[in-house]
Structure 1
Amino acid sequence: MSASFVLLGLLSSGPKHGYELKRAYDRSLPNAKPLAFGQVYATIGRLERDGLVERAGQDRDGGPDRVAYALTDLGRQSLDEWLGAVEPPAPYVSSVLLAKVVVALLTADSDRAGTYLADQRAAHTARLRELTRSKHESTANIGDVITADFAIAHLDADLRWLRTTLERVGEMHQETSP
């Protein structure tokens, strides 16, 4: 995910300082990897250097100086282009989950792979239940619900793959066992 464009999108509603951007990012993408404060300020610095945001004021409000940033016309145009571009499907499959199973199989340890797959399936199922419950909480907003739906769809795909892979590992184990 491009933090730059998320920050541009957050600035589209009006000027914000770094702390507000961080809070808005974490609130808008609750199941995404949290954005560190340092990353917010480094990204804003690059966006400012590239003319996509500009300083829009400064306040102290009882603490250190806080600089607010606003979207420039070029920033709005860049955001509009990004939002209008179709995201191509990922050309490569990479995940720690896949790597662990492949490595376990490469070590000729189908029992380890089977155990790992079963344990991972249990962890995925627990997370799926947790996300499903979160969608029905009274505090859930539309962003929370669609983020949970996205995560649930991916977990569901992983669970289908885990089930199929467990079956294949079991078949392989039967073929190689005396």
Structure 2
Amino acid sequence: MSTRHVLLGLLVGGPSHGYDLKRRYDERFPQARPLAYGQVYMTLQRLVRDGLAAIEGTDSDGGPERTLYRSTDEGSRELVTWTAEITPPALFVTNEIFAKVVVSILVAAAADSDRTSDAAAYLQAQRTAHMARMRELTALKTVPGTDLSTVLSADYAIAHLDADVRWMTTTASRLTTLTAEVDTA
């Protein structure tokens, strides 16, 4: 996710302080990796440097000085361009789960132990963790008053977790073939 463009998108609603942008980010992207305040302010400085945002002014309201940022016309054009760009599907997807299955087979082969059962045990434990997270997200969606951003984010996460679970099931059924390939390599 492009932090730069997300913060720029949050500025579309009008001038904001970095603190307010961080709060709105947390509200709009509840299941996303959290942004640190330092990351928000560093990104805002870069947006200003690049002419996509400008400093509207500063105020203190009796506390520390706070800078008010706004989107520029160039920033608005950049945002329109970014939102229209198609994100290409990944050519190859490698994640930690895939890597752990392959490595568990290799480690077991080196130790001359039952590679199929080691990888199968890992896949089963990972599947259990995924299913628990899917149940948590499903419950989150049913809480009365849950905002649409949270529901959409949970739906997205559930779909990805479900795809992982389907991959784990398919991979578990292929473990004998996978370990045989390690034997011949």
Q: TM-score, normalised by structure 1?
A: 0.93
Structure 1: 5+ residue runs without aligned partners?
Answer: none
For 2:46 and 2:164, the matched residues in 1 are separated by 36
Partner AA of 2:98 in structure 1: L
Residue of structure 1 equivalent to 2:172? 166
Post-superposition offset of 1:163 = 0.7
8 Å Cα contact 2:9/2:79 also seen in 1: yes
| Matched length | 176
8 Å Cα contact 2:105/2:179 also seen in 1: no
| Deviant stretches of 4+, over 4 Å | 170-174
Residue of structure 1 equivalent to 2:83? 83
For 1:137 and 1:116, the matched residues in 2 are separated by 32
Partner AA of 1:125 in structure 2: M
Residue of structure 2 equivalent to 1:33? 33
Deviations 1:109-135 (A, max 9, x none): 332211110000000000001111111
Residue of structure 2 equivalent to 1:44? 44
Deviations 1:20-43 (A, max 9, x none): 111111111111100011110111
Post-superposition offset of 1:170 = 5.1
Residue of structure 1 equivalent to 2:125? 119
- Corresponding residue to 1:132 among 131, 138, 145: 138
8 Å Cα contact 1:104/1:110 also seen in 2: no
Partner AA of 2:31 in structure 1: N
For 2:49 and 2:40, the matched residues in 1 are separated by 14
8 Å Cα contact 1:15/1:68 also seen in 2: yes
For 1:82 and 1:99, the matched residues in 2 are separated by 32
Post-superposition offset of 1:172 = 5.6
8 Å Cα contact 1:114/1:170 also seen in 2: no
Residue of structure 2 equivalent to 1:57? 57
Q: How well do the aligned residues superpose, as a CA RMSD in angstroms?
A: 1.8
For 2:124 and 2:176, the matched residues in 1 are separated by 11
SS of equivalent residue, structure 2 residue 54: strand
Deviations 1:116-169 (A, max 9, x none): 100000000000011111111113111111111100100110000011111111
Residue of structure 2 equivalent to 1:21? 21
% identity of equivalent residues: 50
For 2:60 and 2:92, the matched residues in 1 are separated by 47
Residue of structure 2 equivalent to 1:146? 152
Q: TM-score, normalised by structure 2?
A: 0.90
